[in-house]
């Protein structure tokens, strides 16, 4: 099953990987901002890095299979 969003076709596996990445990214953001010295900017930067890794895995790992 495929979902077409504009010029991009996303499979169920890719959607699952992206959802997992969003959940991990939210956990990283909450973990950084809940600490005493954590700032929201640091949490945003770290969570953007995490979601970027999952986007790369979702779109390039499946294309190599």
- 58: Cβ–Cβ under 8 A, 6 or more apart, which residues? 14, 17, 18, 21
pLDDT digits (tens, 9 = 90+) for 22-60: 999 999 999 988 876 768 888 899 999 999 999 998 888
CA distances from 17 to 3, 14, 21 (A): 14, 5, 6
Residue 61: predicted pLDDT: 61
Residue 7: predicted pLDDT: 81
């Amino acid at each position: 099953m495929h979902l077409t969003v504009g010029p991009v076709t996303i499979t169920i596996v890719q959607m699952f990987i992206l959802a997992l990445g969003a959940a991990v990214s939210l956990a990283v953001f909450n973990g950084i901002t809940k600490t005493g010295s954590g700032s929201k900017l640091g949490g945003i930067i770290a969570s953007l890095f995490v979601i970027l890794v999952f986007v790369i895995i979702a779109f390039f790992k499946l294309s190599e299979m």
